[in-house]
Structure formats: C-alpha cells, structure tokens
Structure 1
C-alpha cells in the first residue's frame, strides 16, 4: 500500500510535468540540495521551441519588481500543514455545505488546490489597500536584511514573522505586489472555466493590481473595471479632490466561457418603450438609422410617407443597405414619426431583445448598491455595535453575485473575508433566488482594534458571529421560504501537519528506525483531524456528508457514501477489513501503525484485491 502524501501539492513539479508532456526535449535533470536527481526545465531550449527568433538582452515589455520571482516560487512551494475541524464553533456541522477557514490565506489556498481545482464560480476579495498603515501579512520570503526585520517585525501567535508595510518602507509597492501576486496565482487555479474574480482596490495599488491580473488571468480575460461610489457626500477638508469612489477589478477565468449576469429590468427602463402605432408585436423604441462610417451601399435617398425626400446627414450614411431598408419598411419596422414626415428610425421591439434583463454598467452608484456608511451601519445593527472598520455593504456583494451569474450550486470564495459580508450576502441571494450556492470564507485570525473594546479577540470571531446572527435573522424574517436555507458552516483551522516531523525526513532516517516508532501521528490529533487531512490529500471537497459506525468495536468513517472510508484504530482485525471492503469504497485509508507487520499490510491489500479490486487503499 502507498502512503498518503500529507502535504499540499507541489505546483512546480506539476507544471514541469505539463511542460514535459508538450516539450519532452526541454526536460533535463539536475542535483538538488540533498544530492538527489530532480527534473528541471531547460528554459533556453524551451524559448527556442516557442519561437524562431529568441530575444536576448535586457530590453523587453514587462511588469516587474523586487521580489516577484520569489513570490512565484512561494506560490508553487508545497507546505506541510493541514486543516483541523472545529465542530464546537460550527453551526449545523453535519448538514451544512459552507466552510469558514481560519488561517493565513496563502497557505489555505495551497491546501485547497486539489479539493477545489476548477470548482469555484466566483471569487471576491477585499485585500488591504496598502495605505501605509494597515497592511500586515505573513512575510517569509521577501525580506533579505535580518537587521531590518528585527527593527520592524512582529510575531503572530505561532511565532511567524509579520511585516507591517508602511509608506516609509523602500519596497512599499513591491511588497504589496508580492503579497497579492502569489495569492492570485493560486486563486486562478480554483476558478471554474466559466468563473470570475472581483477584487476591491483603491488608487494606491489599482494600476499595479490590474497589471498583476493581466499577467495571471490574461489581458483578454479582463471584463471591466467597475467604479463603486462608496461615499454619498464630499469631504470638505480634502486637500485636492474629495475621493468618493473605489474600484472593483473584474477578470474571467476564460472570457469565451463566461456569461455575465444581467440586471432585472426597471420600470424606468421599460418606460422608454411605447406603442404609438399599436403594432401587434408590442412596445418598441426607435433607434438611429444613420452611422458615422461611410459606405456607398448606405448612401441613398428615402421618401417619407408624407412625400418628403430625406438624405443621410453630411459625411454619414444609412446603417442599412437600400434592400435591407425596403425589407424593414415593408415589415413596418421603420418609424417616420406620428405625422409621417420625420427622419426615419428603426423600431426595436422589447419582445425581441437578444438578452433578458439589462446590460450592467461599470458605474455602481450608491443608490443602487449601497455606500461604505451603509456597510458599517449594517454591521453595527446586526452585531449591536461597531466591531469592524470598513465592511462592504451587502447590496454591493449581491450586485456582484448577479454579474457572476451564479448557478444552482455555485461555490463562492472570499479569502480576505473580514467581517464575512460575502457570506451574509450569499445567504440573502440564496433566499431571494431559491439557490443552494455555497461559500468558503478564509480569514487570518488578526487581533481586533486594540483602541476600542469590541468584545471579540480577533476578526474570525467577528465573522463567525455575524454569519450566525445574519442567518438567524434571515430565517426569522422569512420563515416560509427559508425552511431549507443553509445558514450553517463548518469551521476549519489551519495547523501544522497531523504527522510527526520525523515522518517527513525519510532521507535522514532508516526504514528500521521508522518501524520502531509507536506512531507517526501527533498525540493531540483526533480521528476527525486525520479524516479531513486525508480529504485534502485525496482532493475531496470538505463540505460533503459523512457518518461513523462501529464494526466489531472499531470506528469506521464513511465519507460521502463511499467516496472514502477510513479506520484509524490500532490492530484492526481482518474481519473488519473485509466488512469495509464489502462496501466497495472508491478509497480506503488506515493508519500505518494499525498493522503489526508488513505482512499484515500485504494481507489487507490482498483482501481488497479479492473483494473490492477497484478500491484505492493507502495508509498514513
């Protein structure tokens, strides 16, 4: 039996394999730091394979900064971490399909790479805006001067160095770009082929963020730069311009597969349509018949019903050829005004519009989607006080969810979830549209503002409590339509691997030494910890149902009706192994220490080959 990997996927190794499948002659070998051989790419040969004219030299059109290469390496680097279930802080653990994950979002995104690859329909993030005051992130690869780090670094609860990016830092923009670039690289992998990402930002990093997104998602996949009117009144003390807007960048995973959601038609928009000639096809509005681009086929005279001859305006022509015009005239699709003497116009019928609903615009006015003060008041009302600075209004997120064109069971991810506005908004959208969309919230357990007593020790506590209260409020306000509404969430917390560190150093220890160990699993880990660690390793979603049962005194966990069956007891008898095999699961996993000897493990493999030959069996 093979052993579980128990670490995040090595993105670099996967990318090398993909390139090797296309250009096998570009794969070579080198020696790693341990003296072992490993595959690498011959980039000079790869460049030659991709172009007959390789450009050498320093001049090229590119967007770069100090630390960019390191951020790319960091995104691809595997980690030995896991997500540990926390049932006591969850809501409706057994039935919910929503996730709330506590931990550094870079590491969490790495762990989600296989379980949610190409499965997320919409991502929204509201990252720190790099104002020079509040941008703090886990920094383990950008700083090169230990002396500088000692002067300005902080430590989080786990002893990791945290770096505050103030505007006095010489690498002010570089560090922010490094932070966001690696996270967006991993986020793109999670988006479905018809998925879309929205990123809130202000003027400080808007231009840099757009360049980062153009590299990661591709320029052709740029959808729009939305402008949100976040303030409803000017600031009279502004030194130059009272800035009343923020930006929301919108990129598709694949623009050819993305279909934007359209807005419901308003009474104001419908009022533009009328039917002055009682056309049986219904209401219509007239459209200009002239175009600026001159074409000889559109240069002709038109005689109105009143007998007046009309020529195209100077330098212009009619948008229809004469034959096309006559066809529409015969079909009563040309309007000359109530008196039959006006300039001809085309009739556009409301019933024949190509798309349902209205095309969204790039301007998000606060009257339609709310402003920053509305977001704050929403949170104050539901949390009985001000506990978080700068939350987005739920109406803004609901508008973005319309544009994302969510489907029945779409997944929405927010990995800078803050006060969990995204989760709140999605529950409301599910209620209003009768959908069953699911969310994944990811948030670092940052300490709350020490200047005011919020009653919550960190931002995660605020986010979880908001979801609890918001879900309860939504159900209380509409009990008849929310009976099946999922207002629960599973809490998972980022932690070190379930395995003892010695397990991850096979080159440093002999096999005989490993066999002498009582267990390679940390003493404080439960069956549930191990089960969810296996889900990550096998790339299974973390929100599916499962149950546990006793078979001859052994605890057996069945995840999603046979997607995975696990038993982590010691000394599992063959009779229990046979009962598990009879269920014919897709996957089965046991502890390495569950078997007294190698022959016992071989016997387990033989049992599955006989009873359930299609089951993949592994040990941890």
Structure 2
C-alpha cells in the first residue's frame, strides 16, 4: 500500500500583503501579546510597561477616512504587470523599467520583488490645488476600478473625484490618497535609502505630519525650499509664491548618506599656496572666535617680534599648547611679511570633498518652472505637451545628493519623465550605476499622437536616450515597459450558497490560465509573484521539443507546456534545478503522473516542486 503524498506547493497569485511580515515579526517578539492569533493591544502595552490609558488622546495626524486609507495599502492586488514590448526600448539589455498603471496597485505588486532595494525615491504628486484627482482610487476594489479606468474591462470610463469644494474633505481626500502610497513606498527603500517629495504650500504642513507618521520624525532630513520662479506674479491676490518645497526623509537616518555639492571654480580659487607648502593649496582661516574661551586669552608674538592679542570681544580658538603645535607644524600664517595677524592654514587636501548642501535652492542652480517648460518643449520640437514639468537640473541635483554612489531610483508619479532623464544625465556625468523604475497612470490627454501622459513619459525618455547616447554610447538608456493588467490566471472565487457548493468547487477547482494568455506574459507574472525583479534574466531551453525557462542560472525552471510528459519532466530533473514550476492544468487531472513526478523530483534532490 503506497503512502499518501502531500500536494505540491502552489505559489500565491495575489500580491504580497505588506503588513503580514510586520505582524509575524511582532508575534515572534511578543507571542504572549497574541490571543487566538489576534493582537491584544492592552496586553502589549502592559508588556512594554506602557502606563498611559489607551483611551487618552494623543498627538498625531487625524482625518476623515484615515482608517480606510490605512486598509487600502494592506489589500493585495489581484492584477499583474504584463510586458509591453512595443513600449520598450532595447529591453534585452537594460535594467531600467517603465510601468503604465495606477501606482497604488503597482506598488503592491512590487512589494515582494523590490522590498528594501531602492536607494532613492523621488515623487512629484498632485498638489491638491483644486484640480481633479485623476487616480481611480477605490479601496475595496482597486484593481477592478483601474481596469475600468483604463478601458480594459468595459467602456464605463474613469471615475474621477473633483476637489473643488473648500471643506475639510479636500485635505482628507488628499491625505487618504497619499497615505497608502507612501506607506508602500517606504517598504521599497533600502536601509540607507531616502525619499524626496515635491509639494507646495497647500499641503506641505499635512505632508510633513504624514511623513513623520510613516517614516518617523527622527528620520526627517530636510525641507528643501526651491526657488521655482524669480519674477513675482503680479496677478497674485496677496503675495506671489515663488517657491515650492521638497521634503526629504530617510528610511533610517543613522544609515543614510547624503552627497555633497561640488566646489565651484571660484571656491577652488580660494585655496592657494603662496609659501609653497608641500601639503598643497590652503586658505587662511581666522584664528580668533567670538565664543568665550578662557584658555584662548594669551599673547602671540609674530616672526617680526610684534605682539598681538585677540580683537576686542574675541578669543583665540585654541589654547596655548595647541597653538604651539600648529606653529611647529607650519600651520600658522602671519602674512607674506611675517607681521600680520595670525591665521590658521586650512589645506584643501584635508577637507571633505565638496560642500555641505543647504536648504535654499536658488533658480540659478536648479532652474525654474518656466525653464522646465522650455527644455521639455525643446525635446518635443517646440510643442507644449505637459503643463507642470520640473527642471531636469532640479532632479539631477536630488539624484546626485540622495544617490551619490549609485543605486536604484524610483518615481511612481513619473509625469513628463524628468526623473528618468535626470538619472541618465547623472549616470553619464559621474559613471555611477542608477537604474530607474518609473510608474505613470495612462491619464488621457487631448493630443492624438500622445493620447496619454504615459505616452509623453516614454517619448521624453526616448528623446533623452537619443540625445545622451550620441556622447555616451555605452550608457544604458533603454527600458523595459510593462502594463498593469488583470492576472493571466482565473481568480479563485468562493461560490455562494450551501457548504456543499463550496466543497464541490474545491474538489474540481484548478487554477487555469485565461484564454489567449501569452507564455511570456504568464512567465512574467509568475516571476514577479515569486519575488523576481522585472529585469530578471531568463534563459530559454529546448527539452523534449518543449520550451523550458531557466531562471537564476538554472536554479529555478519553469515549464508552461500543456500537456506535460514524463520524458519532459525527467529532462528538467536532469538539469539539477533547486525548484521546478509547472502548470497544474498540464497534468490534466492525472493524479498518478502528478504523484510520481513529486516522488521523482524529491529523489533528484529538487527541494521545491510547484504547480500553478
């Protein structure tokens, strides 16, 4: 009598639930705080020594719809990302990615494959200035609402929610829109990663509180103030706004690294070497300081014999012993004639490269809104194709500071594609490797040749690629394009009615492919759901006349052939993979073949055999 064989593993098709890992980690740390699988918050407070009553009011950000928005980020996505070869550029040899779709659903799909991978995130979200929210948020059926918005399932059109009223609902709706996206984005940052969010005065106060809540106030880095215009708007009712904000937060401020601004030629010119010091160029710094220092009150005799003391109200910035060390080491300068006031020599070779950036970003450094429009029109032959672009120099500076040594860059409000353009320019300038991942909703436009904003994004990336590869032929300027679509597998839906109906469906259910699903699309969905990135290299093998896909150097083998044969299965085993995936329907209900395959896989040392 043969022993029963457990069923093969089956990968979960919906996207990861972002809070599952946190919940499991909390339960592992404090198992006594859980009862029947549910967290007892009062018990957890007691374990942590928290004595504040749970009902006591606390400081924080609250708005109508907050709890619904929090749940929105926790709902899995039932869709997938389908390769778009026509929308790609040199897809076979690039690490850049462009995704067309609702960024909330896309962020959910990226959680498993891209968790903890992004060095930098930059977004320029809607500013809530009275225009429409065109994102089709429906927290109960996000994927279904997007499919209706993009016309993939019917012609009902997009559901838009206008923000023309002046009540608290305006801010509440914007906060509910932003919260789940920022929550999911944080998961994608590396421990040393940073996020920068552009915003104006309408919501900067709310955004600061929202980012404090999601990232922690201790991880606030800066509020950059960008001079977006240098001429006042004479039609402004009160005062013309000539600046916007960019809030910067770290995933972990203790690990984050921010780059430095390069010195200008004028700043370099301040370092000279009039005394031919072998340590190289230096510049004189005042030896006195304004802060009282008792040990800094002593007389200094110059080489010419003149005795000098600190100016009134000031003190030498060192004690007498330290001064003597500097004098002996040739670090004190008394002027060319040796009778001047003592100065400390600061050597260029001993200072940190570059300059510490400040929070006031002038238009001369990073450009203005008007210049951004001009540079975008240049790429499109003089046409105005986008209303609110950012100057590429602004985003370039952000990229160079927040990802100074390279690393992946994410922008899930890609808009005109300026982030991708800026990343390419930074890579060309410093030689670092920064692949980008851009996400853009296919928002309709009134331009027949550029029918959606996503078309504008790709057109800008293509123009930037053409411009840069002329001078940097080895630069990775391509991208792999994907579209947010429904899954290529029929979803599981529990039947209504009596338990017998559910039992019958469970007995006969097989996760089957949708009619017409292309093998490459199915493969991309399986790889993403399994935690492989969108640019994962896949080799194609021909075994027993069928196509088999080898991933990670052959450690994972995926066969989408239907039906399967014993020779084909054994040919895959001979490749010695660690995991093998096949279609469940390819066994055509042949339980004996499935059982024998599982036993043979195990005997060949294959740890994971899965059917989908």
Name 1:112's counterpart in structure 2: 110
Cα distance, 1:488 vs structure 2: 1.8
Question: CA separation of 1:522/1:320 partners in 2, compared to 1, >3 Å: closer, same or farther?
Answer: same
Superposed, 1:233-382 pairs within 5 Å as: 233-313=231-311, 316-353=314-351, 355-382=352-379
Provide the C-alpha distance between the structure 1 equivalents of 2:335 and 2:94, rounded to a whole number of angstroms: 60
TM-score (normalizing by structure 1): 0.89
Provide the C-alpha distance between the structure 1 equivalents of 2:90 and 2:604, rounded to a whole number of angstroms: 36
Name 2:405's counterpart in structure 1: 407
User: SS of the counterpart of 1:187?
Assistant: helix
Kept after mapping to 1: 8 A contact 2:423/2:434: yes
Name 2:415's counterpart in structure 1: 418
Provide the C-alpha distance between the structure 1 equivalents of 2:500 and 2:332, rounded to a whole number of angstroms: 84
Q: Which residue, 500, 508, 520 being the options, matches 2:512?
A: 520
Verify: 1:445 aligned to 2:435, yes or no. Answer: no
Cα distance, 1:528 vs structure 2: 1.7
Cα distance, 1:187 vs structure 2: 0.7
Kept after mapping to 2: 8 A contact 1:581/1:612: no
User: SS of the counterpart of 1:467?
Assistant: helix
Provide the C-alpha distance between the structure 2 equivalents of 1:513 and 1:20, rounded to a whole number of angstroms: 34
Cα distance, 1:109 vs structure 2: 0.6
Cα distance, 1:313 vs structure 2: 4.7
Provide the C-alpha distance between the structure 2 equivalents of 1:534 and 1:392, rounded to a whole number of angstroms: 36
Kept after mapping to 2: 8 A contact 1:70/1:142: no
Provide the C-alpha distance between the structure 1 equivalents of 2:284 and 2:370, rounded to a whole number of angstroms: 41
Name 1:607's counterpart in structure 2: 600
Question: CA separation of 1:563/1:123 partners in 2, compared to 1, >3 Å: closer, same or farther?
Answer: farther
The runs of at least 4 aligned residues of structure 1 exceeding 4 Å deviation read 313-316, 503-512
Provide the C-alpha distance between the structure 1 equivalents of 2:294 and 2:237, rounded to a whole number of angstroms: 55
- The CA RMSD over aligned residues, in Å, is 2.5
Cα distance, 1:510 vs structure 2: 4.2
Q: Which residue, 224, 227, 250 being the options, matches 2:225?
A: 227
Q: Which residue, 8, 11, 14 being the options, matches 2:21?
A: 14
Which deviations, in whole Å up to 9, do the C-alpha atoms of 1:2-32 show, x marking residues without a partner?
Answer: 1111011122332211111111111123xxx
Provide the C-alpha distance between the structure 1 equivalents of 2:201 and 2:544, rounded to a whole number of angstroms: 64
Name 2:521's counterpart in structure 1: 529
Provide the C-alpha distance between the structure 2 equivalents of 1:188 and 1:509, rounded to a whole number of angstroms: 42
Which deviations, in whole Å up to 9, do the C-alpha atoms of 1:64-115 show, x marking residues without a partner?
Answer: 2222222222112222121111222222222222111111111111110110
Name 2:538's counterpart in structure 1: 546
Name 1:485's counterpart in structure 2: 475
- Structure 1 regions of 5+ residues with no counterpart? 30-38, 144-153
Verify: 1:592 aligned to 2:592, yes or no. Answer: no
Kept after mapping to 2: 8 A contact 1:7/1:537: yes
Question: CA separation of 1:379/1:83 partners in 2, compared to 1, >3 Å: closer, same or farther?
Answer: same
Provide the C-alpha distance between the structure 1 equivalents of 2:533 and 2:384, rounded to a whole number of angstroms: 35
User: SS of the counterpart of 2:161?
Assistant: strand
Question: Comparing 507-516 with 569-578, which one deviates more in the overlay?
Answer: 507-516
Cα distance, 1:403 vs structure 2: 0.1
Kept after mapping to 2: 8 A contact 1:9/1:78: yes
- Structure 2 regions of 5+ residues with no counterpart? 1-7, 142-147
Cα distance, 1:509 vs structure 2: 5.4
